[in-house]
Amino acid sequence: MNMNDQIGAAQLMVELGERSYPIWIGSGLISRIGRAFQLQHIPTGSPILVITDDKVGPKYLHQVAEALEYVGYSVSTHQVPSGEKSKSLRVFEDCISAALEAGCDRKSTVVALGGGVVGDLAGFVAATYMRGVRFVQVPTTILAHDSSVGGKVAVNHPLAKNIIGAFHQPDMVLYDTSTLQSLPDRDVRSGLAEMIKHGLIWDQSFAAWCEEHAEQLLAKDEEALTYGLLQGCAIKAAVVSQDERENDLRAILNLGHTIGHALEAVAGYGELLHGEAIAIGMIGSARLAEQMGMAAGVAEYTERLMKSFGLPTAIPAHYDTEQIIAAMMHDKKFNEGRTMFVLPTAIGRVEIRRDVPVEQVRDIIEELKGAGTWQ
Amino acid sequence: MNMNDQIGAAQLMVELGERSYPIWIGSGLISRIGRAFQLQHIPTGSPILVITDDKVGPKYLHQVAEALEYVGYSVSTHQVPSGEKSKSLRVFEDCISAALEAGCDRKSTVVALGGGVVGDLAGFVAATYMRGVRFVQVPTTILAHDSSVGGKVAVNHPLAKNIIGAFHQPDMVLYDTSTLQSLPDRDVRSGLAEMIKHGLIWDQSFAAWCEEHAEQLLAKDEEALTYGLLQGCAIKAAVVSQDERENDLRAILNLGHTIGHALEAVAGYGELLHGEAIAIGMIGSARLAEQMGMAAGVAEYTERLMKSFGLPTAIPAHYDTEQIIAAMMHDKKFNEGRTMFVLPTAIGRVEIRRDVPVEQVRDIIEELKGAGTWQ
Ligand SMILES: NC(=O)c1ccc[n+]([C@@H]2O[C@H](COP(=O)([O-])OP(=O)(O)OC[C@H]3O[C@@H](n4cnc5c(N)ncnc54)[C@H](O)[C@@H]3O)[C@@H](O)[C@H]2O)c1
Ligand SMILES: NC(=O)c1ccc[n+]([C@@H]2O[C@H](COP(=O)([O-])OP(=O)(O)OC[C@H]3O[C@@H](n4cnc5c(N)ncnc54)[C@H](O)[C@@H]3O)[C@@H](O)[C@H]2O)c1
Ligand SMILES: [Zn+2]
Ligand SMILES: [Zn+2]
């Protein structure tokens, strides 16, 4: 982590050999996106396509397009409906049409301006348009600190989340913390769940820092956010650098996601926010770990942490347990007849297990439906 | 090229570092697919999904599935309508649904049983399902000797061919020449166009061999076919090994494709077969090269070769010239305002040019509409 003087922002490099790229984090960065493009040697001869959603677009698209045009880029834009439902093949096809209509070619760049939904969708467009073009992320949610590192891009299938996708690293990430001021509170909390996750899997002191700064983070204090986002990105980058394609280590990033993804699928995409689902999932994992004798005290700690961030700690009682179990079996983490769980052994330490008996998972789900808060 | 005794077939390795893979070519190979899977260490614990079309499926699917099940694989199948129209996002989505319903996981293998259409479609499924699973090609057309080497997979958009895709190398290619006996004559000719192309771009003596063996090849003589397919695959493999992602050299494989793809788009996918379109395109390129003073005699030679294989040598007169020109600008070969042409300098030698004036292209298209044969 250091400062980039030409951009005037904190800079973190994601080290991936020839696919390494910078993440810049700072206030007011989108007005400097033109300069950032030049620093990354993005050619001006081919059209740029900015993909955004209909909540973010009206606020920031004009500024981004103008800053790019100012330094000589020709910019087209495409706006999709806000929300998880836009991570579909239908909306993906519309984006490809927009790229064609804009005259995008193999040297074009796709820019994702928005949260994780726009990032995953536009990233899949960049990964597949003409078999892959340049990709730049301009995240506008807290959650997107997670989705903008690691190169996983995808859309959903009605039966399973993120099932259609690719690995496609961005050329750079430009994180303008001032855009976060307009983020709705529920999305703030959802995004902070992934930030906390990075502490829980890797760095006990960062988890403690999150707990101590819950109030500032929830109030979107820019200094606290900048530190938390840098820390979260740095942890994810460290993991991904060691295992870009998720052969082993990278799987630890899935803490809370085995149960979380299943809950999202059962809820119907969009009802339960991603961060909310994994908050519940992280509590579930901690309880499983304790029941299996792998850890002590982690469940209580995890639950307290989630509560201090106003995140849900229970599964809505009307969700069907068997449907949740079935959804786990359509997940990418399920293979050769077993599903994978990331279980904590202590705060800041996790283990990957493929031997959790399904009966135990069922019990934990029932338990999570019984108690806790659900807004 | 050598023999693999365990499979009893000619073997060619496509050298791509850790993504290297074998191509086996021989008569009756699909009955040995189980053994081939074992040799490639494809795990039995995860379901195999065989994708085929409704002309190939009824003939060969049963045999393939049985041979795999015999050695312990669990096999699901999915049949799509035959023809270029199946290279669409709609049909792609159906394939993903089939994979989910079959319970395919990250260790599953997608098998393409069919021609280039099934290969490109199933390949894109393998490239994107859970961000990439194993892929095996079982080509049943002559044209597929081209599409099974190089890892290019894609589907079409109504506005442009192969515009949505990826690079995804197969784990192996199993080419059973006996399946070619049921291939309709028109598809035989279309496939031979790509075989000839490999001679024209790389190896004058192979082009001459093709001309001498036109009769045997058209009559589907297995010995001639095996030699021609091996030679064609070997040339393509040599090119691709040096430039997997088409940064420069690989572009020479597009001889005839700038005009050819535009013709396919204007015709409406399916009306003009791919090999037919590029046959016309190769003649167009040769004429362009002569007009630009780069070569002499190549146009006449190319036209004669196409005629001896019963391939079309003219553009159907009712095609609109301006539409053809417009289609070229939606092609992947078009960027930064110019389109790319592969032009012959002699038989077996080509050059990549980005400076062909559009007026000259227009003239050649008009000329090609005037004369020659169109079945
Ligand atoms: N690729 C990865 O590695 C990865 C990792 C984690 C999550 N994800 C994906 O990310 C998605 C969730 O991301 P998200 O929570 O950012 O969702 P999102 O993109 O839907 O954004 C949340 C909501 O906030 C709105 N919004 C965004 N920025 C705003 C701003 N600055 N001001 C006002 N409103 C704003 C959006 O329109 C949306 O309604 C999920 O689909 C998840 O699967 C991907
Ligand atoms: N990926 C690449 O590098 C690459 C290279 C060249 C071509 N292609 C693509 O390949 C496609 C054309 O391939 P194709 O010509 O094989 O088309 P195809 O797959 O449509 O096959 C042609 C026809 O023959 C039928 N058929 C196939 N095998 C048969 C058999 N053994 N017996 C009887 N009928 C059979 C099919 O059902 C179809 O009707 C195009 O979409 C083209 O873009 C891709
Ligand atoms: Zn997540
Ligand atoms: Zn071709």
Task: Give me the domains of chain A, ranges plus CATH numbers.
Answer: 2-182 (3.40.50.1970), 185-370 (1.20.1090.10)
Catalytic residue among B32, B257, B333, B369: B257
Q: What is the largest CA-CA distance in chain B?
A: 61
| pLDDT at site B270 | 65
Residue whose CA lies nearest to ligand 1 atom number 4: A147
Separation of alpha carbons B199 and B298, rounded Å: 13
pLDDT tens digit sequence for A222-264:
999 999 999 999 999 999 999 888 878 899 999 999 999 999 8
What's the one-letter identity of residue A164?
I
Separation of alpha carbons B253 and B235, rounded Å: 10
Q: Which residues in chain A are contacts of B154 at CB distance < 8 A?
A: 131
B193 and chain A in contact, CB less than 8 A? no
**What torsion, rounded to 10 degrees, do the Cα atoms A209, A214, A219, A225 define?**
30
Q: Which residue has the tokens 């999305």?
A: A187
From the CA of A143, the nearest ligand is: 1
Active site includes B261? yes
Catalytic residue among B41, B90, B131, B245: B131
A274 appears as a binding residue in the annotation = yes
Specify the 3-state DSSP secondary structure of A37: helix
- Of all residues in chain B, the one with the smallest CA distance to A47 is B336
| pLDDT at site A105 | 93
| pLDDT at site B80 | 98
Q: How far is A168 from chain B (nearest CA, A)?
A: 10
**What torsion, rounded to 10 degrees, do the Cα atoms A88, A89, A95, A101 define?**
-160
* ipTM of the complex, rounded to two decimals: 0.91
| pLDDT at site A371 | 63
- Do A130 and B89 count as a contact with CB atoms less than 8 A apart? no
Q: If you write DSSP's letter for every residue of B44-64 in order, what string do you get?
A: SSS-EEEEEETTTIIIIIHHH
Kindly list the protein residues whose Cβ atom lies closer than 6 A to any atom of ligand 1: A 53, 55-56, 82-84, 87, 114-118, 120, 140-141, 143-144, 146-147, 150, 152, 162, 179-180, 182-183, 187, 190-191, 274
Residue whose CA lies nearest to ligand 2 atom number 10: B116
pLDDT tens digit sequence for A21-51:
999 999 999 999 999 999 999 999 999 999 9
- Do B130 and A332 count as a contact with CB atoms less than 8 A apart? yes
B150 and chain A in contact, CB less than 8 A? no
The whole-model pTM stands at 0.93
Average pLDDT rounded to a whole number, residues A203-222: 97
Q: What is the largest CA-CA distance in chain A?
A: 61
- The minimum-distance atom of ligand 1 relative to the CA of A144 is 16
Average pLDDT rounded to a whole number, residues A205-229: 97
Residue-averaged pLDDT of chain B? 94
Burial of A24 (0-12, 13-18, 19+ CB in 10 A): buried
pLDDT tens digit sequence for B240-298:
999 888 878 899 999 999 999 999 889 876 688 999 999 999 999 999 999 999 999 99
| pLDDT at site A139 | 98
For residues B265 and B187, the model is more confident at B187
Confidence of residue A268 (pLDDT cuts 50, 70, 90): confident
pLDDT tens digit sequence for B11-31:
999 999 989 999 999 999 999
| pLDDT at site A270 | 65
For residues A334 and B37, the model is more confident at B37
Kindly state the percentage of chain B with pLDDT values over 70.
97
For residues A181 and A335, the model is more confident at A181
pLDDT tens digit sequence for A144-179:
999 999 999 999 998 888 999 999 999 999 999 999
| pLDDT at site A269 | 65
| pLDDT at site A280 | 98
pLDDT tens digit sequence for B145-166:
999 999 999 999 988 889 999 9
A258 appears as a binding residue in the annotation = no
